[in-house]
Amino acid sequence: MDTPHPTGAPATPPPLGEHLRSPRLRAAMLVQQEALHAARAFLRGEGFTELLPPLVGPVTDPGGRGAKALDVDYYGHPYKLMTSAILYKQASLRGFPRLFYVAPNVRVEPEETATTGRHLVEFHQIDVEIADGSREDAQEIAAGLLTHVTEHVWTAVPEILRELGRIEGDFADIRAGKYDVRTHDDAVSALLAAGHPQNPDGEIDWAGERLLSLESDRPFFVNDYPKGSRGFYDREDPDRPGVLRNFDLIAPHGYGELVSGSEREADYATIVTRMRESGENPAKYAWYLQEARDGMPASAGFGMGLQRLVRFLTGLDALWQVSAYPKLPGVVAP
């Protein structure tokens, strides 16, 4: 499998009409359609129920890495467009112990992410949550989902993938379900050894993640991110304070992160404390904290970036090439 190959495409999208008429977008959308079909079939087969996610709310995922939620004036109340529906996933668990969304999300990402090839302001996630699940349960579903979707697209539309320059043999590891696992600590050490100035207390930065992804021939999980790099809902390891029971799934050959997931905090007092640790005002999370007080099930879950998945399958350079209506960070687009 090669690295994202140059397609001679400009770094930013052409005018929307031209983009929508391009054969390359058509090919990507046919792959996306098959990927969505396969994802739904796989998750339903695993006993998950699909719900449709909310679009606005008094709070949304506070997320991280400098992205901002868009504000909405909702009958005079300051509401947010969903950056992710994680809080609603947790709240749904008592009625729907295994659920998923194909969720549209909006994040006003910092302009510096416009050139990563991996960020769009509007994007979609296949968003999965498992009541009483562990990190390992979530990773098993995430790996199974990626394997199943890959298998399906190579069965359903192999000629499209070949025309885009993809080589079937390069997906053999994924189709055979072979995934590696490493820890955040180990990833930081590898990056520092390679001369990359990675902050050990934080998220793996974009350039570092690309380096790790380029070095690998098969997808791999990164476990145990430090507290302070992720949202308040990622559960802290009770045996290792400061370490979160979470993970990313990184695609090989430079395509980078496809999935973020974790076990979730479900204990009310811990959630309030973790909110303060991430600088949040608990008062604005009133409805969610009431759910936590009433007893929210423990859970684990993840979000798989749909456009990132399709970019990986198609081998295209940039996320905007696999979005019909792309909005790049910092670029005002229709």
Partner 1 sequence: MTALSTPGFPDGAIRARARNGTAEVFPDATTYGTRLYGPSAGALPADSLDRARIVPPVFMPQRLEKLIDLAREPEFTDVDLGSRVGGFTARLPLYLSAFGSTRAGSGDLAVHASRQAARLGIPMVIGENMIPVHGYRRAGDATRSALLARVEAYLDAAPDGAGGVVVQQSTEDADSEVWNLLYSDPAFRPLLETGRLAFELKTGQGAKPGLGGMTVVDRAEAEQLARRFTVRKVLDPEGERQLRCATPGTFTDEILRQQLRFMRNNFPKARTWVKFHPGRDIAHAARTAWSAGADAVTVDGAEGGTGWAPGVFLDHVGLPLAESLRRIGRPEGCLLAAGGMWEGGRAVRALALGATAVGLGRAALVAVDEDPEHGLERLVDSIALELRLLISALGKYTVAALAPEDLWWPDGHPSHLAPADAPPLGVTDPAGATP
Question: Cα(138)–Cα(278) distance, rounded to whole angstroms?
Answer: 24
User: For residue 195, which phi and psi values (nearest 5 degrees)?
Assistant: 85, 10
Asked if 284 is part of the footprint of partner 1 (rule: CB under 8 A), the reply reads yes
120 to each of 43, 112, 327, how far by Cα in Å?
25, 12, 6
| Identity of the residue, 212 or 309, whose beta carbon is nearer to partner 1 in the bound complex | 212
| Residue 173 amino acid letter | D
| Identity of the residue, 47 or 197, whose beta carbon is nearer to partner 1 in the bound complex | 197
Q: Indicate which single residue of 47, 279, 295, 334 sits in contact with partner 1 (rule: CB under 8 A).
A: 279
User: For residue 278, which phi and psi values (nearest 5 degrees)?
Assistant: -105, 15
| Identity of the residue, 3 or 273, whose beta carbon is nearer to partner 1 in the bound complex | 273
**Residue 97 C-beta: closest distance to partner 1, Å:** 31
Stretch that binds partner 1, among 6-14, 157-165, 275-283, 293-301 (CB under 8 A): 275-283
- In three-state secondary structure terms, 123 is strand
Asked if 18 is part of the footprint of partner 1 (rule: CB under 8 A), the reply reads no
| Identity of the residue, 154 or 288, whose beta carbon is nearer to partner 1 in the bound complex | 288
* C-beta neighbour count of 193 within 10 angstroms: 8
262 to each of 35, 58, 268, 332, how far by Cα in Å?
23, 24, 17, 33
Q: Indicate which single residue of 40, 65, 175, 182 sits in contact with partner 1 (rule: CB under 8 A).
A: 65
Question: Cα(231)–Cα(131) distance, rounded to whole angstroms?
Answer: 19
By DSSP bridging, strand 299-305 and strand 246-251 are: unpaired
Asked if 243 is part of the footprint of partner 1 (rule: CB under 8 A), the reply reads no
Q: Indicate which single residue of 5, 26, 240, 276 sits in contact with partner 1 (rule: CB under 8 A).
A: 276
Q: Indicate which single residue of 111, 136, 163, 294 sits in contact with partner 1 (rule: CB under 8 A).
A: 111
| Identity of the residue, 107 or 135, whose beta carbon is nearer to partner 1 in the bound complex | 107
Asked if 227 is part of the footprint of partner 1 (rule: CB under 8 A), the reply reads yes
Q: Which residue has the tokens 């204990």?
A: 267
User: For residue 102, which phi and psi values (nearest 5 degrees)?
Assistant: -105, 95
By DSSP bridging, strand 299-305 and strand 122-131 are: antiparallel
Asked if 81 is part of the footprint of partner 1 (rule: CB under 8 A), the reply reads no
**Residue 12 C-beta: closest distance to partner 1, Å:** 15
Stretch that binds partner 1, among 65-73, 97-105, 134-142, 318-326 (CB under 8 A): 65-73
Asked if 108 is part of the footprint of partner 1 (rule: CB under 8 A), the reply reads yes
Instruction: Output b/e per residue, 37-76; b: 16+ Cβ within 10 A.
Output: ebbeebbeebebeebebeeebebbbbbebebebeeeeeee
Asked if 124 is part of the footprint of partner 1 (rule: CB under 8 A), the reply reads no
Report the site for partner 1 in 203-222 (rule: CB under 8 A): 203, 205
**Residue 327 C-beta: closest distance to partner 1, Å:** 13
Angle in degrees, 0-180, between the axes of helices 23-45 and 135-156, rounded to the nearest 10: 130
**Residue 266 C-beta: closest distance to partner 1, Å:** 19
Question: Cα(154)–Cα(1) distance, rounded to whole angstroms?
Answer: 14
Stretch that binds partner 1, among 105-113, 155-163, 186-194, 293-301 (CB under 8 A): 105-113
Question: Cα(295)–Cα(267) distance, rounded to whole angstroms?
Answer: 8
Stretch that binds partner 1, among 21-29, 276-284, 294-302, 308-316 (CB under 8 A): 276-284
| Identity of the residue, 22 or 116, whose beta carbon is nearer to partner 1 in the bound complex | 116
Q: How many residues of this chain interact with partner 1, rule: CB under 8 A?
A: 31
Binding site for partner 1 (CB under 8 A): 64-69, 78, 108-112, 199, 201-203, 205, 226-229, 273, 276-281, 284, 329-330
